[in-house]
């Protein structure tokens, strides 16, 4: 199934099942509310409600309780940088205020001159889990979605802690929709082609099977630290090709169009726009 949170002409949001061009209303405000239902998958599959018109996609889960991000998680990228493969995931957080819909505008804050792209696969949790073993971790994955961990590099590297560069408001495309594992090759350990483009030029390309820590590994690891709840998100990391690593470095500018695509998960096309601050 494909599940999305859409915006309606009246300014509200609705959770829908996406069937081609048809959007079936699931009777709830967003996918986060849907995933909080113990029988969310059956409820979404059997819904026969009215179709609903959309004026755009909201973030798949508009307000996750947790957004856990992973750094340095693609083998080829790590090895090409001359580093050893990590023994444990590198984790940091992002807050819900950073999230935008797949095709919303990315805010370029006047305080940063180094706004970079990071195309990623996001895991969305569908079942409460703590200290998950293999079976529980697999069962806890509701599905996957596009994510772009847009990063203010000049703020990220102000200190050894990355948070301040990672969670600027209105910066992070998430969606357009969630796809359940049964529709993807590899299921909860999917092998999908990920690409990121800026103004039509491909800048990132990788296969998600190159992840050092795959989605199931990450659910097991993160749930050891903290309970994962329905609607929580794990962003699994980005491959090589980010702008900060280029020589000369390259960053998003006012008017840049950032496109993120993953096989089977759709496409996000977000325009970067200079934020006006009164």
Highest mean pLDDT among 44-58, 63-77, 194-208: 194-208
pLDDT of residue 273: 98
- Summarised one tens digit per residue, pLDDT across range 183-197 is 999 999 999 999 999
226 pLDDT higher than 90: yes
Distance CA 270, CA 256 (A): 8
DSSP 140-191: HEEEEEEEE--EEHHHHTTSS--HHHH--TT-EEB-S-EE-GGGSTTTTS--
* 242 or 278, greater pLDDT: 242
Q: pLDDT tens for residues 74-110?
A: 987 787 667 888 999 999 999 999 999 999 999 999 9
Is pTM, for the whole model, over 0.85? yes
Bridge partners of 7?
13, 56
Q: Which among 58, 68, 51, 48 is positioned nearest to 6, based on CA atoms? A: 58
Classify domain 59-274 at the CATH superfamily level.
Fumarylacetoacetase-like, C-terminal domain (3.90.850.10)
Q: How far is CA 278 from CA 35, 80, 91, 110, 275, in A?
A: 38, 43, 35, 11, 10
Per-residue pLDDT, averaged over 214-239, amounts to: 98
pLDDT tens for each residue of 133-158: 999 999 999 999 999 999 999 999 99
CB 225 within 8 A of CB 212: no
Name the nearest CA neighbour of 148 among 272, 238, 224: 238
Mean pLDDT of the chain: 95
Point out the least confidently predicted range of 60-64, 76-80, 85-89, 169-173. Answer: 76-80
Return the domain boundaries, the chain: 1-57, 59-274
Distances (CA, A) of 268 to 111, 222, 241: 25, 27, 18
Q: Is the pLDDT of residue 49 over 80?
A: no
Looking up tokens 């305080």 gives 111
Over residues 110-120, the mean pLDDT reads: 98
250 contacts 84 by C-beta, under 8 angstroms: no
Q: Which residues contact 173 (CB under 8 A, 6 or more apart)?
A: 100, 101, 102, 103, 104, 106, 146, 147, 148, 150, 258, 260, 268, 270
Q: What percent of the chain clears pLDDT 90, i.e. is strictly above it?
A: 90
């Amino acid at each position: 199934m494909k599940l999305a949170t859409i915006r309606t002409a009246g300014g509200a949001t609705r959770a829908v099942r996406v069937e081609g061009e048809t959007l079936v209303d699931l009777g709830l405000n967003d996918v986060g509310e849907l995933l909080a239902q113990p029988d969310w998958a059956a409820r979404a599959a059997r819904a026969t409600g009215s179709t609903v018109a959309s004026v755009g996609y909201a973030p798949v889960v508009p307000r996750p309780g947790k957004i856990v991000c992973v750094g340095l998680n693609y083998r080829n990228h790590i090895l090409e940088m001359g580093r050893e493969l990590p023994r444990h995931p590198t984790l940091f957080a992002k807050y819900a205020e950073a999230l935008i819909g797949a095709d919303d505008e990315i805010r370029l804050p006047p305080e940063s001159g180094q706004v970079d792209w990071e195309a990623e696969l996001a895991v969305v949790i569908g079942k409460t889990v703590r200290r998950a073993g293999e079976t529980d971790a697999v069962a806890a994955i509701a599905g996957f979605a596009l994510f772009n961990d847009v990063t203010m590099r000049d703020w990220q590297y102000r200190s050894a802690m990355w948070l301040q560069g990672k969670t600027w408001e209105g910066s992070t495309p998430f969606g357009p929709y969630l796809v359940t594992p049964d529709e993807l090759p590899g299921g909860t350990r999917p092998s999908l082609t990920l690409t990121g483009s800026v103004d039509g030029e491909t800048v990132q390309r990788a296969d998600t099977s190159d992840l050092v820590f795959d989605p199931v590994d990450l659910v097991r690891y993160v749930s050891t630290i903290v309970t994962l709840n329905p609607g929580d998100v794990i962003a699994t990391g980005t491959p090589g090709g980010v702008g900060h690593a280029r020589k000369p470095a390259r960053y998003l500018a006012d008017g840049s169009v950032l496109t993120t695509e993953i096989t089977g998960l759709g496409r996000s096309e977000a325009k970067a726009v200079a934020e006006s601050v009164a």
